[in-house]
Amino acid sequence: MRVFKDVGLVEQLGSGMSRILDAYDRTVFEISEHFIKVIFPFSWIDEKKDCATKDLNGDDIKVLLVLEKEPGITAKKISEKLGFSTRKISRIIKKLRESEKISRIGSDRKGYWKINK
**CB-based contact 62:55 (threshold 8 Å):** no
Query: What is the band of 54 on the pLDDT scale with cuts at 50, 70, 90?
Result: low
* Structural contact between residues 67 and 82, judged by C-beta atoms closer than 8 angstroms: no
Looking at the structure, do residues 57 and 107 belong to the same domain, yes or no? yes
CB atoms < 10 A from the CB of 78, how many? 22
pLDDT, position 86: 92
Q: According to the model, what pLDDT value does residue 51 have?
A: 46
Among 4-18, 41-55, 75-89, 91-105, whose mean pLDDT is lowest?
41-55
Domain harbouring 89, CATH code = 1.10.10.10
CA gap 62, 107 in Å, rounded? 23
Question: Among the ranges 16-20, 22-26, 49-53, 73-77, which has the highest mean pLDDT value?
Answer: 73-77
Exposure of 55 by Cβ count < 10 A (0-12 exposed, 13-18 middle, 19+ buried)?
Answer: exposed
User: Both 28 and 52 in a single domain?
Assistant: no
Domains in the chain: how many in total?
Answer: 2
Expressed as residue numbers, the domain containing 100 is 44-115
Tell me: do 18 and 67 sit in the same domain.
no
3-state secondary structure of 42: coil
77 shares a domain with 34: no
Q: How confident is the model at residue 50 (pLDDT cuts 50, 70, 90)?
A: very low
Which of the two residues, 6 and 31, has the higher pLDDT score?
A: 31
